[in-house]
A and B are shown apart, each in its own frame.
Chain A
Amino acid sequence: MSDRCYLATRKGLFTVDRRVSKWSISRATFIGDNVTLVMHDSRNGNLFAALNHGHFGIKVHRSTNGGETWDEITAPQYPPMPEGYVPKPLPFFNKPLDWALKLIWGLAPGGADQPGLIWCGTMPGGLFKSENNGASWELNRPLWDHPKREEWGPNGAEWPGIHSICVDPRDSRHVSIGVSTGGVWITKDAGKSWTQTGGGMRAEYYPAEQQGDPNVQDVHCLVQCAANPEVFWVQHHNGIFRSTDGARSWTEIKDVKPSVFGFPVAVHPHDPNTAWFVPSTKDEKRCPTDGRVVVNRTRDGGKTFETLRQGLPQEYAYDLVYRHGLDVDESGNRLVFGSTTGSVWISENGGDSWQTVSSNLPPVYAVRFVKP
């Protein structure tokens, strides 16, 4: 079981360690800086932190000693536009897309057989790959040059982005990604070609005739079960969806109380039927229903849900949990989640009960366990 996790927040990166049975913060790094994402690479122990300096742009830092020291490494860079190329206007905003890095929104190590390979999803919609532990990055052109990529829409931000990257444990060349807003895309040849999936998803924020278009699906978070990689879960802008055929087709899970709206989802690494969600009231009211922070857990593939609340605030709480703000460890027993109001909770029993790590942190963007 994992005894350490990292928290990427608006004002720094925090290390949380388990001591006996209590979890507490043991280190704070990059204090004052906006750390938007953290990744631990279990293949070699490397840590990556993505920083958004606002004025000075997006930077990547790497630690090879468990977070004791950090070095700035190269950030992904978009290439120059080809001569004479005129980009399509961005849907809704009707302005051309800037080919410049706006946010690092997804980081995932490649497979065990791909040492040094790291995938990086970004705004405004580029997927980058490094084959040397982040020393250099290359934009995946087959996806970037796909005509449907130009139709991806913005989300809460001005630009589309890739936030979820799932490397199939059976075959590292098989990678599935979640795009907001642009649905689910799959490569089976390490990125040489891409296929869009998403049949069965529904975008209720579009006119009726277009609601089934796979390219307008606002996937908030996509996760794949390690033990049964045919099973994927999606927290979507207007619901929860599940696939049991390798993300090719999707079934909507309806009537989940208190709500089907939210950002993160985590799937049990050994049990494809068990998944956790942190619901918010709805799109236009992004806070816990009735001021009560809860976690929803299903153990039967979405037929039923339990609303877990032991140890979580049950009055006047307005914590929102972002898409990278929930994680499960490799055992499936330990979970961590962190909120926009700086609260962090950890469970050691699959979500049955929770202990508070802090209620005073900066807004939490991402939480990640160190996994073996």
Chain B
Amino acid sequence: MATIRFTRNIQRHVECPVREVSGATLGEVLDAYFRDNERARGYVLDEQGKIRQHMVVFIDGELVRDRDGLSDPVESKSIIDVIQALSGGNE
């Protein structure tokens, strides 16, 4: 199972504890996580399921390539980090 970790800054708005979830792609892993935490889904993905413009996701330290389709492969021991981009602060 992959481990998914979220930026500390998101916790102020919606609690996102570290969890191990299964899935073969980023989309499957995130979907498994958000099924039990629907409110968090809208903080990371937009309503079309794309990674929000100013959010970034790493899989084992590599930036995710398919930000719209979330098709990047995930290994059983992968570590996924969901963090905010330096952009997006609006000032």
Residues of A close to B10: CB separation below 8 A:
56
A78 touches B48 (CB 8 A): yes
B88 to chain A: which residues have CB within 8 Å? 54-55
- From the candidates B42, B48, B52, B91, name the one contacting A55 in the complex (CB within 8 A): B52
Question: Which residues of B sit under 8 angstroms from A52, Cβ to Cβ?
Answer: 90
Q: Does B13 contact A (CB under 8 A)?
A: yes
Count chain A CB atoms within 10 A of each CB in B44, B46, B55 and give the residue with the most: B46
Q: Which of chain A's residues has its CB closest to B56's CB?
A: A55
Q: Interface range on chain B: under 10, 10 to 19, 20 to 34, or 35 or more?
A: 20 to 34
**CB-CB under 8 A for A72 and B39, given A56-B13, A77-B47, A78-B47:** yes
Shortest Cβ gap from B34 to chain A (Å): 14
Contact B89 A54 (CB under 8 A): yes
Contact flags (1/0) for A46-65 with B, using CB distance below 8 Å? 00000011111101000000
- Structural contact, B47 and A55, CB atoms closer than 8 A: no
Chain A residues touching B, majority SS = loop
Measured CB to CB, the closest approach of chain B to A53, in angstroms, equals 7
Residues of chain B with a CB closer than 8 A to A190's CB: none
Report the bound CA distance from A101 to B42 in whole Å: 11
- Give chain B nearest CB distance to A354 CB in angstroms: 28
Please give the distance in Å from A243's CB to the nearest CB on chain B.
36
Shortest Cβ distance from A328 into chain B, in angstroms? 30
Binary flags per residue of A29-60, CB closer than 8 Å to B gives 1, else 0: 00000100000000000000000111111010
Known: A55-B55, A55-B84, A56-B43. A99 touches B48 (CB 8 A): yes
Flag whether A90 is at the interface (Cβ < 8 A): no
A222 at the interface (CB under 8 A from B): no
Write out the residue numbers on chain B whose beta carbons fall within 8 Å of the beta carbon of A34.
Answer: 90
Is the CB of B63 closer than 8 A to any CB of chain A?
no
Number of interface residues of A (CB under 8 A): 19
At the interface, yes or no: B50 with Cβ under 8 Å from chain A? Answer: yes
A363 — nearest CB in chain B belongs to which residue?
B91
B54 within 8 A of partner (CB) = yes
Given contacts A78-B47, A99-B48, contact A57 B42 (CB under 8 A): yes
Q: Specify which of A10, A57, A59, A99 lies most central, judged by the most chain B CB atoms within 10 Å of its CB.
A: A57
Please encode chain B, from 56 to 91, with 1 for each CB lying within 8 Å of some chain A CB and 0 for all others. 000000000000000000000000000011001111
- Chain B residues near A57: list those with CB within 8 A: 42-43, 46, 52
- Residue of B whose beta carbon sits closest to that of A77: B47
**What residues of B have a CB within 8 angstroms of the CB of A55 in the complex?**
9, 52, 54-55, 84-85, 88-89
Cα separation A80 to B68 with both chains bound (whole Å): 13
Interface-centre pick from A54, A78, A99 (highest chain B CB count, 10 A): A54
Indicate with 1 or 0, residue by residue over A94-119, a CB within 8 angstroms of chain B CB atoms.
00001111000000000000000000
Q: Which residues from A are CB-within-8-Å of B39?
A: 72
A81, B46: Cα distance in complex, Å: 14
Cβ-defined contact, A100 with B48, below 8 A: yes
Smallest CB-CB A-B distances: 5 pairs: A77-B47, A55-B84, A56-B43, A100-B46, A54-B88
Chain B contacts to A: CB under 8 angstroms: 9-10, 13, 39, 42-44, 46-48, 50, 52, 54-55, 84-85, 88-91
Using a CB–CB cutoff of 8 Å, the interface residues on chain A facing chain B are 10, 34, 52-57, 59, 72, 75, 77-78, 80-81, 98-101
Q: List 9 A-B contacts (CB under 8 A).
A: A53-B13, A54-B89, A54-B90, A55-B84, A55-B88, A56-B13, A59-B42, A78-B47, A99-B47
